[in-house]
Amino acid sequence: MNDKISVEALKGIGVLYEGDIYDLACLLLKLNDAQDKGTNHRSRHTVYGVASDYSMLTRESRDKIMRILERHGLPLGATVEHDEDVR
Give the pLDDT band of residue 2 (cuts 50, 70, 90): low
Buried b (16+ CB within 10 A) or exposed e, 12-25: ebebeeeebbbebb
Number of independent structural domains in the chain:
1
Range of the domain at 69: 4-85
How far apart (Å, rounded) are the C-alpha atoms in residues 48 and 84?
A: 21
Question: What average pLDDT does the chain have?
Answer: 94
Residue 1 DSSP one-character state: -
Give the pLDDT confidence of 38-54 residue by residue, as tens digits: 999 999 999 999 999 99
User: For residue 37, is pLDDT > 60?
Assistant: yes
Give the pLDDT confidence of 68-82 residue by residue, as tens digits: 999 999 999 999 999
User: For residue 83, how far is the Cα from the chain centroid?
Assistant: 12
